[in-house]
Amino acid sequence: MQLGPYTFDRPLVLAPMAGVSDRVFRAVCRAHGADYAPSEMTSSNPLLRATAQTQKRLEIAGEIAPRIVQIAGAVPAEMAAAARDGVANGAEIIDINMGCPAKRVCNRLAGSALLKDETLVREILEAVVGAVSVPVTLKTRTGWSRAARNAVRVARMAEDCGISALTLHGRTRECAYQGDAEYDTIAEVKAAVHMPVIANGDITSPAKARMVLEHTGADGLMIGRAAQGDPWLFARIRAYLTDGTVLPLPTPGEALETMYEHIRALHAFYGEDLGLRIARKHAGWYQRWLPQGDAFRAVFNALDSALMQINYIKELSDSQLGLRHGEAA
């Protein structure tokens, strides 16, 4: 699979999840085996792009290549301008979001709401591809509703407009994240186009990853919610796809070590105030690997300084290190 100067063999991709896939989490997942990781969705609306939140999402300088900015909107000229802005800030690939099911996005006729208007879809694709010299990719869903699946038509249109690769979440906007992913539809899309197709939806284990690849014929996989608190999933999937190796799950000590570095980086990136709150969310996902995880989370959520959060994780980590060396608990 080729994207500009980058070549991938069955890429494993971190999904651009709003409020989750920030620069820090992208770096953690890249370090654990993700081949690339688009930015969180950023609005093409000029007023919204000027906000501190959007500017934070657009910080990609120094990030591991390829650097990918995902944009969303419903006005072709604004989408083209946002793509140019992304490239000017260092993006090597632009990803268009036509898959977000959130009401606040769809109410602005962006994200998956665009699937109701195929004429506007074409106008946006043509505007963005024509605006930049880097590859442009598209993330979308199988349709607006179960009664209006149009993924094959949209995929053919995207290929005709010069889109370099398509990521398809195997659900309609109506489904949101409910029900089973439609791997049959992803297979239909893959058979209908020549460009690379990345399968997305319910890829939660190495065995599921292999099944999805075999069923759909997709060129790669995008992993979203399953990676929250489990960045090791990318390495487990890669090993299993390569030669059937089943890697062990992370130990409590390994989980604490990764959590420690992750949360320190969150504090540094966001500052203490916001970093504290975001750290609680990620710690809540990591807790699954810890004995008495619920108790850990209750204590962690009550801590009200960055130093207290870091020291608490370090104390638990030191305790795990002592247990590994045979010391008394």
Cβ-contact 199, 183 below 8 angstroms: yes
Read off the DSSP letter of residue 290. Answer: S
Q: Name the catalytic one among 29, 100, 106, 161.
A: 100
DSSP of 225-284, one letter per residue? GGGTT-TTHHHHHHHHHHH---PPPPPHHHHHHHHHHHHHHHHHHH-HHHHHHHHHHHHH
Please enumerate in sequence order all residues whose Cβ is within 8 A of that of 178, keeping only pairs 6 or more positions apart, or say none.
Answer: 171
Active site residue 29: no
Cα(215)–Cα(212) distance, integer angstroms? 5
Identify the three-state secondary structure at position 99.
coil
Residue 176: count other Cβ atoms within 10 Å of its Cβ: 13
Positions annotated as catalytic residues are 100
